Amino acid sequence: MGNKPSSEIIRRFIDFIALQRRYSKHTQNAYLTDLEQFESFLQTLSEGNKQQITQADYHDVRAWVISLLDDEQVTARSINRKLSALRSFYRFAIQEQLIEESPLRKLKALKADKKITPFLPQTDARQLWQALTELPADEFITAREQVILILLYTTGIRLSELIHLKISDIDFSNRQIKVWGKGSKQRIVPLLPQIFALLENYIQIKSQLFGEAIHSPLVCTDKGEEAYPMLIYRTVRKHLDMITTIERRSPHVLRHSYATHLLDGGADLNAVKELLGHSSLAATQVYTHTSIEKLRKVFEDAHPRS
């Protein structure tokens, strides 16, 4: 086993994930880079004797991880991604009967710090709201931009949920929308009274352009077709660029802002869980970080021994 040149084996693996697994070109390139990096590291261990990647053992992989940890620019998250590439490669090698077991069999993933999505400060959120309400709402594109931003921020729905939201999902009499979340789970999310005029205005303009179809997507393209993710991303980025300095400016930032601002305002965690469509409370707790920091500041400012 393991008699083929490493470069050929790696090429076969990349062909496999491209043709059989249909991995993206980006993933293919990332895996290739990681495997070649590990292969180069093996050469340093074998002092130029060209140790093959299929000959590596647990200690070789562990030594590589330690060397990566010495680099302050490499995070635990990126190391875990590299290990994921190796695991996929060695599964392929076992399948091809090139090795008997993976050298990563006993290796555990590193504990990575949880990545916290940024959120809009309250001042930025107020500025965004004011900017949106002042847009000329007699044009389809600007009316659509109002609806996209305001729905994302005032309901906390996901990008995919917004795209699949239909006009028939809006209950004007009860001031709520019906949202189809992950796993086709349905939930009801209340709407602020202030946004109904904007919704009605947009729907009227949309109907004049593309006809009245109650079951058509609420947010559509300039041709009346269902919106696509990049359209939503571009709209969000355009408006957040004008009012905030936070690094990430995506639809998820507005979802995070919605949850964070609700919790900061005293909302019950279980209620926020239901509004967001989370299946477990643990998924919602990621949004409590700012509320905890706010409580900590109140405590430190008020406690007589602080």
225 pLDDT more than 50: yes
Q: pTM for this structure?
A: 0.61
Asked whether the predicted pLDDT for residue 227 surpasses 60, the reply is yes
Active-site pick, 50, 182, 234, 296: 182
Joined tokens for residue 67: 């060397």
CB 233 within 8 A of CB 162: no
164 is catalytic: no
Tell me the DSSP string of 92-138: HHHHTTS-SS-TTTTPPPP-PPPPPPP---HHHHHHHHHHHHTS-TT
Q: Dump pLDDT digits (tens) for 266-297.
A: 888 888 889 998 887 777 776 765 555 555 55
287 catalytically annotated = yes
Active site residue 158: yes
Fold of the CATH domain 6-95: DNA polymerase; domain 1 (1.10.150)
Side chain identity at residue 245, one-letter code: T
Q: Nearest-5° angle of CA 37, CA 43, CA 49?
A: 155
pLDDT on residue 48 = 53
Q: Is the pLDDT of residue 92 over 60?
A: yes
Query: Which is the catalytic residue, given 81, 237, 252, 289?
Result: 252
Residue 252 annotated among the catalytic residues of the structure: yes
Domain 122-300 has CATH 3.40.50.720: no
* 289 a catalytic residue: no
Q: Among residues 82, 158, 164, 256, which one is catalytic?
A: 158
Q: How far apart are CA 271 and CA 276, in angstroms?
A: 9
Question: Of 144, 239, 255, 273, which is the active-site residue?
Answer: 255
pLDDT digits (tens, 9 = 90+) for 15-53: 999 998 888 888 899 999 999 999 988 887 765 555 789
User: In the predicted model, what is the mean pLDDT of residues 201-220?
Assistant: 92
153 noted as active-site residue: no
Annotated domain spans of the chain: 6-95, 122-300
d(C-alpha 291, C-alpha 288), whole Å: 5
